[in-house]
Structures are given as C-alpha cells and as structure tokens.
Structure 1
Amino acid sequence: MSESPSRHVLAIANQKGGVGKTTTAINLATAIAAAGARVLLIDLDPQGNASTGLGVPTASRRFTSYDFLFDATTGPEAASTGVPNLRVIPATPDLASADVDMVGDARRTYKMKDALTHRAAPLGPFDHVLIDCPPSLNLLTINALVAAHSVLVPLQCEFFALEGLSQFIRTVQSVRAASNPGLRIQGVVLTMFDRRNNLSSQVAQDVRENLGGLVYETVIPRNVRLSEAPSHAVPAVIYDRASSGAVAYQKLAAEFLAQLRRDRQVAEPA
C-alpha cells in the first residue's frame, strides 16, 4: 500500500549527542498525540532510549525497527506506549549492525522510505510518523532523512552549537539533491536553555541571528523533571504536566502543528 498523502514524516536528528534529541522525540510525540493526532514513533537509535522512555521494556520488544527495515516476511507491529494515540516501533542493540548490513544493498539509503511506503499499512493509519535518529550521520540517519518530509533539529544552548549545525545542514542539502528533493528543515528547537546562564542567552541570540525564522519561538529549558521522567518510563508531559519542561514541549507541539497547518494551506490550490 502506498504512503498516505496526509501523513507527515518528521525526522528528529542532530549528529551531536546529548542535545535532547530523544527527550524531544518522546515528548513532542506525546504532546501531538494528546492533541488528538495518531502518532507513530520509530526508534532508530540502537540505544533504544526512546523505547525505554515510552515504557517498552527490552524483553517485550518482539518487533523492532531493525525488523521493519530488513524483515519483509514478518508482519510489522507497533508496541503500545500507554499513551492514547501513540505507538512505537522500538529499537534494540541489533540495530547497531544496520550500517554493515545495508552496505551491499543497492537501495541502502531507501530502506526506511520503502518500509513506510509498502509495509506500514498494517500498523494502522497515522497522522504523524516521528523518527528518532541516532546521534551520528550514519546510514540510519540518512535513511530517515530520505524517508522524511522534514527534519527537526534539537540544538543545545552551548558554545559549539552552530559549528555542528552547519555540517548537518550540508548533509540535509546533499540528501535533498541526491534522493529527497522535498526534504526541508522544519525547524531548529533550542534545548537545555538555562536562564541563569548568560551563555545560553548569547547562544540563543546568535542562533536566531544566523537562522532567523527557522528557529522555533518555543525554547526548552533545563528542567529536572525532563531528566527524571525516563527513569519512570513515562514522558515528562505525563510525569509532571505542569513542569516547565513539559509545558515547553506542549507549546512546541502547538507551534509545530500550527506550522504544518499553515504549510498545507499554502500548498493547497486556490
């Protein structure tokens, strides 16, 4: 079955680790689902942190993102997360061998796109597919970018933030030119912002001056509840909905959904 034209595929990616990528994937997916949309989160990081953070223990990960990419003989399954409207295809360490396993495949950069186009129908209808990428520019990340309509980039408010971002933007441009001309940067979200730290404010200002409208208005603060929530295997927006981190992700989801509505209105013929 071909891909639904109304389904939006969003890759959440940054080749730098420790920027809040998985935290963003978990909480943005949950907040979008809470708004009434049907969401599938694909954990494409061999560490499987998004799966753990959504309450899917390792022992119960029967069908994984590795299977989704490589095993066309098995019917795909998505695990329940306990969050209404949100399901996940979890990851296990087996995914770490994916780069090697794809090397000899002529369509190695299209594995995720092919899986979503031809194998996702049994999972059920979804309005949004979010892909949590590994913290590197490997074949898994390239697969996500080739399959996605757009990419969201979490960017930590630290000194070297813009340095790594420029390399990532070049990668997006390369993927656009070679494999996915419709790919665009949905936005850059500033994470781990500390209002007590002048450096955070300076970095935020520099990023906005350099990237302008690409940067979301919503800023994700440093917040202990965001750090605590994964140990309880629930998203922060459920663990403590009133915390500053959870409120920020709810605002980010609203901003993201409003952005998509505007984009679709512009794309519709008069």
Structure 2
Amino acid sequence: MAQSVPTLLLDLDPQGNLTQHFTNFTPDDPPNVSMADVLDRSSDATLADAIVETRRGGLFLVPSGFDELQAVQDTLVGKPGAEFSVKRALDSLPAGQFTDVLIDCRPATDLVTRNAFIAADQVLIVLQPEADALRGFDFTLVAIDDLQTYLGKELPVAGFVVNQVDYRRNDHKKQLEWIKERSAADSIPILGDPIPVSTDLSKLNAVGMGIDEMSSPSIRLRTLAAGFQTIVNALREERSAA
C-alpha cells in the first residue's frame, strides 16, 4: 500500500542500512549524489539533487554516502557553522514538499548526529535492553542538554522505543524494568509496546518491505504494525502540540 503523504528519509549513518534496505545502492555501487555530497563544502550538490524514490510509494530518501559520509564529517570538524549543515540543506527544500522528515542516525554523538539534532523538531530514542546501549543513552541525553546550554537549541525528547526485547532473557527483563523506571523519572514516555525480537521483522527489514505489503501477515505481525502506528501517531501529536 502506498504512503498517503510524501515522507522524506535522511540516512545520516555511514553504515547506510536505511539506504540499502530501501534502494539498490550499496558501498560497492553507491548513488551518484548522496548525503556526503550535500554536506561537502567543495560540492555544489543540493539536498534536492540527492533525493531518490524508494521501493515504497510516497517514501523518498536521501541516501548515505557510506564511507564518504564519514570522510566529509572529518573535513567539517572545526569549520564555522558545521553543526548547522543539515539544517541549511533542509531549509533549501520548498515548504510543504514533505509532510514528515525522518532522520536516521547511528548510535553516536558525533558531528553528523549533532547536525541531525540541530535540524530536528524532536528526537525519538530507540533503545535495546542491553547494558552497552543503555550507557550510550546517557551520552545522548548529555548531548541534547549541551545543545541547549551552548547553542540555545531546545530539542524535546518525544519518547523511547524499546526494540529487540527477548523475554526469555532475564537480563533483558531487568533492563526493561530499568528503562521503565528511567522513563518515569525523566518524564519521557515509552511509545508503543516494547518490540520483541522477531525473525519475520528481520526478514522484512532486510528487503525493505512493510508488514502492510504482505498478502497475509500473521496476527503477531499485525499487532506489531498497530504498535508502529501508535508510535507514529504519538510523534505527530507531540509535534502538533509543540
């Protein structure tokens, strides 16, 4: 089923998983114009030049430049206004061209991720119930606080999404309880139900296919799809209230 409104995805992860899931581009066969070119100050490429259609109707993508994106980030370090590069690129698009813009970042607080924070209206933090992931979460909150302190950018945290929960593991159950306690303490809601580890979801993700594209999804997958819609609705409500 085609998307009802045009949505733009920005792949700011040098690993480029989003790009590979939704297009045929790979590190060995990269796009002609990518996010790396848009951010490269020696290039004349605009964000509009880099937008490509995906396998999903109504869903458009600015692909990652893979290793080139990392290389361009290194050239921006220390440059005036480097943190505002993505925002400037997005501001160049006609108003209203896309109803939603989703920015995918790697789990790091590097320059490209800070660029995403500056450009964003809100942030959604995806957590896995693993000790390393939860330690990284604290770094993310510190980075968001630094934006307010040093750049005057207030970035609301719309909520947490808890992903890849294995309820057979006691450590996952323990970490999930920690996330719930942290959610209550920080007044950051958990959006939707925790998403369990699912082989079916992994297979769909690998081919860039949605649950709604399956001819007969299982009850389990239909339940997960309803949960994803709950997350999207919550993000839109948060944005409307801002």
Aligned partner of 2:143 in structure 1 is 171
Aligned partner of 2:62 in structure 1 is 89
Amino acid at match of 1:211: S
1:95 partner SS = helix
2:108 partner SS = coil
Aligned partner of 1:67 in structure 2 is 37
Quick one: distance in 1 between partners of 2:51 and 2:76?
A: 23
Identity %: 26
The alignment's C-alpha RMSD in Å is 2.6
CA gap of 1:238–1:55, structure 2 versus 1, over 3 A, is farther
Quick one: distance in 2 between partners of 1:102 and 1:177?
A: 22
2:195 partner SS = strand
State the TM-score, normalized to the length of structure 2: 0.83
Higher mean C-alpha deviation, range 156-165 or range 254-263: 254-263
Asked whether the 8 Å contact 1:194–1:222 carries over to 2, the reply is yes
Asked whether the 8 Å contact 2:38–2:44 carries over to 1, the reply is yes
Asked whether the 8 Å contact 1:220–1:249 carries over to 2, the reply is no
Aligned partner of 2:164 in structure 1 is 192
Q: How many residues align?
A: 231
Amino acid at match of 1:173: D
Aligned partner of 2:86 in structure 1 is 112
Aligned partner of 1:125 in structure 2 is 97
1:207 aligns with 2:200: no
2:193 partner SS = strand
What displacement does 1:151 show? 1.0
2:98 partner SS = coil
Gaps of 5+ in 2: none
CA gap of 1:242–1:197, structure 2 versus 1, over 3 A, is farther
What displacement does 1:209 show? 1.1
Asked whether the 8 Å contact 2:158–2:189 carries over to 1, the reply is yes
Amino acid at match of 2:202: S
Asked whether the 8 Å contact 1:51–1:57 carries over to 2, the reply is yes
CA gap of 1:164–1:246, structure 2 versus 1, over 3 A, is farther
1:193 partner SS = coil
Asked whether the 8 Å contact 1:110–1:147 carries over to 2, the reply is yes
Quick one: distance in 2 between partners of 1:191 and 1:252?
A: 11
Aligned partner of 1:260 in structure 2 is 236
Quick one: distance in 2 between partners of 1:217 and 1:230?
A: 19
What displacement does 1:225 show? 1.9
CA gap of 1:72–1:254, structure 2 versus 1, over 3 A, is farther
Gaps of 5+ in 1: 1-29
CA gap of 1:115–1:173, structure 2 versus 1, over 3 A, is same
Asked whether the 8 Å contact 1:134–1:140 carries over to 2, the reply is no
1:135 aligns with 2:110: no
Quick one: distance in 2 between partners of 1:149 and 1:262?
A: 10
Asked whether the 8 Å contact 2:86–2:119 carries over to 1, the reply is yes
Q: Residues 43-79 of structure 1, C-alpha deviation per residue, up to 9 Å, x if partnerless?
A: 1111211111113323361221112223345552311
Aligned partner of 1:19 in structure 2 is none
Amino acid at match of 2:196: P
State the TM-score, normalized to the length of structure 1: 0.75
CA gap of 1:121–1:210, structure 2 versus 1, over 3 A, is same
